[in-house]
Chain A
């Protein structure tokens, strides 16, 4: 991918309160031209509110919205060059599919002939040719979703806004459609802001992910960075599966730190320059980075933990062990199911190994 140049959407320090609830707090985002940015977070974290502020349905209490470099805060939705795909599609029930798609073009006073060809093309892009004369009620959920997408992209907006567009569909359809949406977005080179609470969706589709929690963007970065370099315990927990070991800092260096767990075991972990410098901390380890069985560690650098196997779950391509450390923390270990892989049974005492670079030092969330 070439380096994105122009910024299509800028959200600058936007805050929105509903009575006592701060739905969105000082959110700032830059979306480059052609970029696919996802707002990811649990229900109620302010994703929809952010999207509605960009579209102009809500006015922020503070902050600015820029579309294509122009301030649009004062503009009503119909003067903003955005197009939204709504959660429940919001197709006009009294119009046919073609009329739905033509609506935005009619409002833009496009010539009749052009409308016909562009509607036709939009239907082809979303792979629904020939369904233009149907009513939305005669379509399946997945088809309605495609019509909603066609209706939005046909006006070639500066930014396409999608609010959990797949959340009402079943799993199989969801997995198909997310690739479809991504394909359409890439083919048209359209800038998109996508809202979801589904981390799988976010990882697969996004160029960058903004992880939101309680109205705040906790981390903004590409999927690999979000998964591999979570900045907070919340991000680590929300994306993928994480193990957290509670401990206390015992000396930090530039990029590593020594941690003492509650039972006195020493651990070496990777530390980011802005990481914590002392006190109570968390060490985050992904299940796939924990290895079962101690002993012949290759370089002797690896951290070793004693644990008791509590549960073994056979998952075909890999096996999941749930084990309890002496500190009382429970960890999940995932081992590929390869020939010769170490096995352990419930109640067995095992050694877990993990390389220091896979132990990430995080601040303990105050609570």
Chain B
């Protein structure tokens, strides 16, 4: 034990009383909870306020709310607002389908391929994530005008624009799935006699379907919420709901808009709830890459 005698043990800290240790621990816990509470409040409060505003009697919201009324909801549930909402739903649905199909094919080609310019192609396809969307939107409008396709403005142009900006999400989620897919499963299928198409349908697709599905959900939400692209590519009679809301609140605040906002929020939340039942879409939000 001579070594121990010469060698002074280094301790982490001096003596700490149990009370002090408890205080230190609880102080941290309290700080953490307060911060979390504040963040959640800032996320949730506007939604709550919008909801209260939509059933409030008066034109302007004040606290405490004065009286209950359904008249804003009656105004909201008319063609004036439901038309654009319906358009947005259709647009988002078609965008989601197209984007996930194209995104899956693109992801497969890029992930598996070994052709020249592969990285450049991927960067180009993902670039809408980085470019300012307002610029993309303006550029698209000019492009359509330039090639003499002003007529496509409205649904077709909106669809094309939304596919371009939602494709990155579909590509990314499918690539994450492909990354987690054991190549030998496809080898095994081929070894047992499956041709490339059978291999894709019976093995590859079932194993990456969560990624494909998540991509579709993201595409739907991004399309449904989109402002910058729709701003340029819509046209009278073909205006998605976010643009309709924006145009209306530019001049004044109308509690009917609050009711419309509640409807759109409900649609997106319902979609996510349904999607979560079919595939663990949340995995792609909370842990993109393992």
A82 vs B187: C-alpha distance in the bound complex, in angstroms?
12
Residue A262 interfacial (CB < 8 Å): no
Q: Are A103 and B191 in contact (CB under 8 A)?
A: no
Q: A residues within 8 A CB of B184?
A: 86, 88, 90
Q: Which residues of B contact A340 (CB under 8 A)?
A: none
Residues of A in contact, count (CB < 8 Å) = 22
Complex Cα spacing A108 to B193, Å:
7
A92 in complex: contacting residue of B188, B193, B195, CB < 8 Å: B188
A93 to B188, CA, bound (A): 12
Among listed B111-119, B199-207, B259-267, interface-contacting one: B199-207
Residue-wise interface mask of A (89-119) relative to B, using a CB-CB cutoff of 8 A (1 in contact, 0 not): 0111110000000011001100000000000
**Contact, CB under 8 Å: B192 / A155:** yes
Q: In the complex, what distance in Å separates the CA atom of A55 from the CA atom of B202? A: 20
The answer to whether residues A94 and B192 also contact, given A77-B187, A107-B198 and a CB cut-off of 8 A, is: no
Kindly state the separation between the CA atoms of A248 and B194 in the bound complex, as whole angstroms. Answer: 59
Contacts A90-B185, A92-B185 known; A84 to B206 CB distance under 8 Å? no
Residues of A within 8 A of B207 (CB): 93-94
Contact of B192 among A88, A93, A103 (CB under 8 A): A103
In the assembled complex, which residues on chain B have CB atoms less than 8 Å from the CB atom of A83? Answer: 191-192
B206 touches A55 (CB 8 A): no
The reply to whether B194 and A103 contact each other, CB–CB distance below 8 Å, is yes
B75 within 8 A of partner (CB): no
Once the chains are docked, how many angstroms separate the CA of A76 from the CA of B190? 8
A78/B190 in contact, CB under 8 A: yes
Chain A neighbourhood of B182, CB < 8 A: 88, 90
Bound-state Cα–Cα, A358 to B289, Å: 60
B159-182 CB contact bits vs A (8 Å, 1 = yes)? 000000000000000000000001
Task: Give the residue name and chain of the A residue nearest to B198 (CB).
Answer: A107
Residues B194 and A107 in contact, CB atoms below 8 Å apart: yes
CA distance A155 to B198 in the complex (A): 17
* Per-position 1/0 for A63-90, Cβ under 8 A of B: 0000000000000111000111010101
Q: Does A57 contact B (CB under 8 A)?
A: yes
Q: Is B189 an interface residue (CB 8 A)?
A: yes
A103 to B126, CA, bound (A): 37
Given A103-B194, A108-B193, A151-B192; A90-B202 close (CB under 8 Å): no
With both chains docked as a complex, state the minimum distance between the C-beta of B180 and any C-beta of chain A, in angstroms: 11
Q: Are A78 and B188 in contact (CB under 8 A)?
A: no
Residues of B within 8 A of A155 (CB): 192-193
Is the CB–CB distance between B190 and A82 below 8 Å? no
For B191, give its contact among A55, A88, A91, A92 (CB under 8 Å).
A55
CB–CB A103/B206 < 8 A = no
Tell which of B184, B188, B190 has the most Cβ of chain A within 10 Å.
B188
Report B14 CB to chain A, min CB distance, Å.
49
A residues near B189, Cβ cutoff 8 Å: 92, 103
With A104-B193, A108-B193 as given contacts, are A90 and B188 in contact (CB-CB < 8 Å)?
Answer: yes
CB B202 to nearest CB in A, in angstroms, measures: 7
Which B residues touch A94, using CB under 8 A? 206-207
B188–A84 CB distance below 8 A = yes
| Contacting pair B194 A86 (CB below 8 A) | no
Q: How far, in Å, is B240 (CB) from chain A's closest CB?
A: 37
26 sampled A-B residue pairs with Cβ under 8 A = A55-B187, A55-B191, A57-B187, A76-B190, A76-B195, A77-B187, A77-B190, A78-B191, A78-B193, A78-B194, A82-B191, A84-B187, A84-B188, A84-B191, A86-B187, A88-B182, A90-B187, A91-B188, A92-B188, A92-B203, A94-B206, A94-B207, A104-B193, A107-B194, A151-B192, A152-B192
Other 11 A-B pairs with CB < 8 A, given A57-B191, A76-B190, A92-B203 = A77-B190, A78-B191, A78-B192, A78-B195, A78-B199, A90-B184, A92-B188, A93-B207, A94-B207, A104-B192, A151-B192
A-B pairs with lowest CB-CB distance, top 6: A107-B193, A104-B192, A90-B184, A90-B188, A77-B190, A78-B190
